[in-house]
Amino acid sequence: MKTAIIACGPRAVQMGRIVSLLPDFKLTAMSDPHPARREIAFKALPESRFYESTEEMLEKESLDAVLVETPPAQHTKYSLMALEKGLHVLGEIPAVDTYEEAVTLWKAVHAHPELVYMCDATANYGMIARAIAFLKNHDLAGKMVYAEAEYTHGMERTFRPQKNIVEDWRASYSACKYCTHDLGPLLDLMEEGDLYDTVACMGTGRHFPCRWQDHAMVSIYRTRKNAVVRFLASFALYKSGPYHAARVFTDSGMIELYNEKVRLFKPDFSEFCEKPEIVEIPFGHFPMRFALDFPVEKVLAAGGGGHGGADFYALEAFADAILNGKKSPCPIEKGLAMTLPGIFAAESAKEGGVLKKILYPWEEEK
């Protein structure tokens, strides 16, 4: 599949390296309006052709698929552009930036049933998601009652911005909207048919000498089946890893999920013990799975697995859906189910924490 990548930032270059390793893809072209980014991308991926204009690239190149690796505000624009050109789309998260964009993209995807649109929900292919799937498959999860999740990226980005490169998009972005990494995997722990229903959110404002508009934001969600989720999002707290963590209380125990391990407490485990016991499983016990045949040396040369291998798994699934006529592994509905809660949380924060009803395009037409 002749594939183009829209953008030439660090994330786009990483995805370009991975695309170059997979036999089902041929990296053909990349686009970005910023010369400095194109120059860096060229040094890493000299076999690709580079364009200043995405429109020109889509017009001139003979393509099968595109990867949209732009900042969030541009995801919808380029996904729509690619769909109109008859191209399969792997769209980055968050899938859209506004509810109006959600309606437009949802309609466009369903207007092109012959094309695969996949939301690149990286976290849904990572270790935390695999741990959740393992627990569910072995009847160890239970019904979610209350959860606490966080995405705290740490201060190092704010005090060490890239020089001579375009301004980091996070500086003007509401952190609560970057919720897909954490709310997405929790969707798989919720009861079938459950969705995030209402949200109230508040931000801290500025406290540190950095550019971010809110240094932390906290959202409280209620689902339609009365589970409650508290979500902390921040690009600007004094924090080192793990960036992602979740603590989930179910009707049968407690699950703690981190970047590197899962901790599980169930009363049944401690029935004959003197004190409650917690089972701790390092993610090293969940083996890496490279389904396609390429040397591990190339993976390491490309800078590692990409989100712990998740980027490889997502691209595998994208290719499998296109080449074998399968449904999208992460269709537009699921992408929006994990994106729209953050958009309504940001609206709540602007109004001082007012409770907001979360809307979904497929229900508006009913």
Residue 225: the pLDDT is 96
Q: What is the pLDDT of residues 120-155, one digit of tens each?
A: 987 777 778 878 888 888 888 899 999 999 998 765
Q: What is the pLDDT of residues 175-194, one digit of tens each?
A: 999 999 899 989 988 988 99
pTM comes to 0.90
pLDDT confidence tier of residue 165, bands split at 50, 70 and 90: very low
Residues making up the chain, counted from first to last = 366
**H or E stretch covering 217:** strand 217-223
Q: What is the pLDDT of residues 214-244, one digit of tens each?
A: 889 999 999 999 999 999 998 877 777 667 8
* Cα gap 333→22, rounded to integer Å: 27
For the chain, the average pLDDT equals 87
Domains of the chain are: 2-122+304-331 (3.40.50.720), 124-288+342-350 (3.30.360.10)
Joined together, the tokens standing for residue 164 give 């001579």
Instruction: Out of 110-114, 293-297, 362-366, give the one with best mean pLDDT.
Output: 110-114
- List beta partners, residue 228: 146, 222
pLDDT confidence tier of residue 290, bands split at 50, 70 and 90: very low
- List beta partners, residue 260: none
Residue 241: the pLDDT is 64
Residue 295: the pLDDT is 45
Higher pLDDT: 46 or 156? It is 46
Sorted by sequence, the CB contacts under 8 Å of residue 264 that are 6+ apart come out as 135, 140, 253, 254, 255, 256, 278, 279, 280, 281
* Cα gap 299→302, rounded to integer Å: 5
* Cα gap 83→93, rounded to integer Å: 17
Chain CA centroid to CA 247, Å: 19
